[in-house]
Chains A and B, each alone.
Chain A
Amino acid sequence: MNLKLLVSGIFIGLSLIYFTAVSCNFNPYSQGEWLYRTHCASCHMEDGSGLRDLIPSLHQSPFLTGEQIHSTACLIRYGIKRPDPFDPKVETYPMPPLHQLTETEITNILNYIGNHFGNRAGYVNPIKLQEKLDNCPNAVPRKY
Chain B
Amino acid sequence: MGVKAFLPFTLILIIVAASWGCHSANERELPILGFPKIIEGDTIPHTIPDFSFVNQDSQWVTNETFGDAVYVTDFFFTSCPTICPKLTRSMLRMYEEFEGRDDVLFLSHTIDVRRDSVPRLRLYAENLGVTSDRWHFVTGDRDKIYDIAEDYMSIAVEDEDAPGGFDHSGWLILIDKNRHIRSYCDGTKDEEVDRLMEDIKILLDES
Residues of A at under 8 Å CB distance from B?
A: 42-43, 45, 51-55, 85-86, 92, 96
Contact = CB atoms under 8 A, between A and B. Distances in A.
Contact of B127 (A42, A45, A53, A92): A53
Nearest to B127: A53
Contacts of B120: 86
A43 B92 contact: no
B89 A45 contact: yes
A86 B117 contact: yes
Nearest to B83: A42
10 contacts: A42-B85, A42-B86, A45-B85, A51-B88, A51-B89, A52-B92, A52-B128, A52-B129, A53-B127, A96-B81
Interface string B71-101: 0000000010111011011001000000000
A43 B129 contact: no
B182 to A, nearest CB: 27
Interface in B33-85: 79, 81-83, 85
Is chain B's interface secondary structure helix, strand, loop, or mixed overall? helix
- Looking at B83, B89, B92, B126, the one whose CB has the most chain A CB atoms below 10 A away is B89
B13 interface: no
B123 A85 contact: yes
B83 to A, nearest CB: 6
Q: Which 7 A-B pairs have the closest CB atoms?
A: A53-B127, A54-B127, A43-B85, A52-B128, A51-B85, A52-B129, A96-B81
Given A85-B123, A86-B117, A86-B120, A54 B81 contact: no
A54 B85 contact: yes
Interface of B: 79, 81-83, 85-86, 88-89, 92, 117, 119-120, 123-124, 126-129
B124 A42 contact: no
A52 B127 contact: yes
Contacts of B126: 53
B126 to A, nearest CB: 8
A24 B82 CA distance: 35
A120 to B, nearest CB: 26
A78 to B, nearest CB: 15
Contacts of A96: 81
A51 B81 CA distance: 13
Given A42-B81, A54-B85, 20 more contacts: A42-B82, A42-B83, A42-B86, A45-B86, A45-B89, A51-B88, A51-B89, A51-B128, A52-B92, A52-B128, A52-B129, A53-B126, A53-B127, A54-B88, A55-B85, A85-B123, A86-B117, A86-B119, A92-B79, A96-B81
Contacts of A55: 85
Contacts of B88: 51, 54
Given A86-B117, A86-B119, A54 B86 contact: no
